[in-house]
A and B are shown apart, each in its own frame.
Chain A
Amino acid sequence: MATMKSRNLVGPVIQAGEMADAIVEAAQDDNPGKEVLVSSRASYIRIELEGECILRRETIQSKLGRPFQMNEIELNMPSFAGQVETNDDSIRFYYAQVL
């Protein structure tokens, strides 16, 4: 991980497990050209991207290999950094003011 952490990092905190792996991979696909920082703790991982992080239902579905409704992310997401916007087929984390 970068030594000087940006102040604009946003993204979900996900319980360690199958879903966490799928979301890390989806974050890479859904945010092309952006570095996906992952920090691991015993019970959760923190996924962080600069300024904005989008996750799409279809991407997560394909990573999991089973049907997935966007709101199901809540089952494994005890927290997140940034503001949130929930849509039918995606969830977006962002800062309104990028520093």
Chain B
Amino acid sequence: MLERSDWYDLARDTNWTPKYVPEEELFPEDYAGSRGIPEHIWATYDEPYKVTYREYVGMQREKDSGAYSVKAALERMDMYTSADPGWIATLKEHYGAVSVVEYNAALQNARLLRFGRAGGMRNMATFGMLDEVRHGQIQLYFAHEYVAKDRQFDWAHRSMNTNNWVTLAARRFFDDLMMTRNVIDTSLAMNFSFETGFTNLQFIGLASDATHAGDFKFAKLIQSIQSDEARHAQIGTPTLKILIEQGKKADAQRMVDISFWRSSRLFAILTGIPMDYYLPLDKREGSFKEFMQEWIVTQFTRSLEDLGLEKPWYWDIFMRDLDEHHHGQQLGTWSWRPTLWWSPAAGVSPDERDWLEEKYPGWNDTFGKCWDVITENARTGRFEKTVPGTLPVICNVSQNPIVGTPGKTLQDRQLTYNGRKYHFGSEVDQWIFEQDPQRYARHQSLVDRFLSGSIEPANLEGVLAYMGLGVISDGGQDAHDFSWATAKTTKTVKAA
């Protein structure tokens, strides 16, 4: 019998020489991003992770039957009723932010399989496209089980068709890096930075927390998804090698720098907040920072350097951010909880604060001071004071509220471009805007929309309805109904 290696290269290489259409019409530069690199060079693209259709179908069937049978077996365990509300918040945030986006990822892969110059890229992207369709279907299906119990789970299906501020941020991210770049740029941004780097945090790191939390269904589901990613993420690696060999290193580095930063900001909210605040204390495998150290600082940047790129130019800012950024976003998202499709946990009971101080030395003196005020208001029943009465300042690149360490790094950077003022949450976000202002300049953040009169009535009620709250489901409340505010430490207090 023939081995795969005897025929693979021939079978996947569907190139031919066009006779009726010029090559630049068959592969328009806006889509293909060829950068003048000729056909015979793209033909050297050697995908490191090879798979044939026959193998693919067999494996995917196994993966699906594994995940669905775990789901079926656990159906009667009723994890939902006994789960901590913080874990339920994690599930809702995940399903709403991730499920439908998977279909967009299928479209991205579809562009790669049409406009990729290399047969190997097209082959891998065909499987990547099918992977992403599977991810959309399976996550919608798993989330749907809970809709009858809790309407907020309906956001799994509907969030991406709303103007919720979290959706605006996520959609803007994927529109920028996944939907509107040529196939070379998007394979670096998504397949390389996003999938070999950051998705590991959510789909493997969080699987460990899910296992501790007793949600084996979710753990199995997300690891099954990431096993597809590990394969098709490798689409970006040979792309990167060709660009570097052809003297386009600076070009590739720029794309990785942009996508790495934007990904880090997205995952601070998607993964960072649940890991450090939503998960019950005794279920935590490690802190978000520890997972970032394992998956990004160690594993991803080592690969980056092995392939011939450098750490991003803003490395020091990124490392400082690991101690700060998601804490600021937690303060913001929890405070503006009526605008969320999930009910966030505060995660700041005395024991949880001790854990935060241990994992992030100095937390008590910075973020803890803000939570002191909130806790005191909650303890004395002044709940209305725990919700801000104004809108936050939003970054025109990340679309997230601008946050920082209180009194230290909180800074609203401003730039006037073509007569309009833009706000940025960091030096790096501003740098990204300046790389390609036309790409970002016309987009309206939620606050821009409010101020320009496109949200009516122009009051809190109007904004909430515009974002889908009270329409698809009610917005968030404190997950634990403020029980943390009056909780006592479980540790023995030392006598003075």
Contacts and interface: CB of A to CB of B under 8 A. Distances in A.
A87 to B, nearest CB: 7
B204 interface: yes
B48 A88 contact: no
A71 B49 CA distance: 9
Interface string B34-64: 0000000000000011110001000100110
A47 B25 CA distance: 47
A27 interface: no
B299 A81 contact: yes
Given A41-B208, A43-B208, A77 B227 contact: yes
Given A41-B208, A44-B208, A76 B227 contact: yes
Interface residues of B, number: 39
B4 interface: yes
A74 B48 contact: no
A79 B207 contact: no
A44 B295 CA distance: 13
A42 B212 contact: yes
Interface in B220-241: 223, 226-227, 229-231, 234, 237
B3 interface: yes
Contacts of B381: none
Contacts of A68: none
Given A72-B59, A83-B306, A85-B48, A77 B230 contact: yes
A66 interface: no
Contact of B210 (A43, A78, A82, A85): A43
A34 B270 CA distance: 38
A43 B221 CA distance: 12
B33 to A, nearest CB: 23
Given A42-B208, A43-B204, A44-B207, A74 B306 contact: no
A55 to B, nearest CB: 14
A2 interface: no
Interface residues of A, number: 30
Contacts of B55: 69, 71
A28 to B, nearest CB: 22
B452 interface: no
B161 interface: no
Contacts of A42: 207-209, 211-212, 285
A15 B216 CA distance: 12
A88 B302 contact: no
Contacts of A16: 211
Contacts of B66: 75
Contact of A88 (B5, B209, B223): B5
B424 interface: no
B200 interface: yes
Interface in A28-72: 41-44, 69, 71-72
Contacts of A79: 200, 204, 226, 229-230, 295, 299
Interface in B260-274: none
A96 B4 CA distance: 25
A72 B184 CA distance: 29
A86 B209 CA distance: 31
B3 A44 contact: no
B234 to A, nearest CB: 7
Nearest to A10: B302
B285 to A, nearest CB: 6
A41 B5 contact: no
16 contacts: A13-B204, A16-B211, A41-B208, A42-B212, A43-B208, A44-B204, A71-B55, A76-B227, A79-B204, A79-B230, A79-B295, A80-B230, A81-B298, A81-B302, A82-B303, A83-B303
Interface of A: 5, 7, 13, 15-16, 41-44, 69, 71-72, 74-88, 95-97
Interface of B: 3-5, 48-51, 55, 59, 62-63, 66, 200, 203-204, 207-212, 219, 223, 226-227, 229-231, 234, 237, 285, 295, 298-299, 302-303, 305-307
Given A42-B209, A74-B51, A88-B4, 9 more contacts: A43-B204, A77-B227, A83-B48, A83-B303, A83-B307, A84-B48, A86-B51, A88-B5, A96-B306
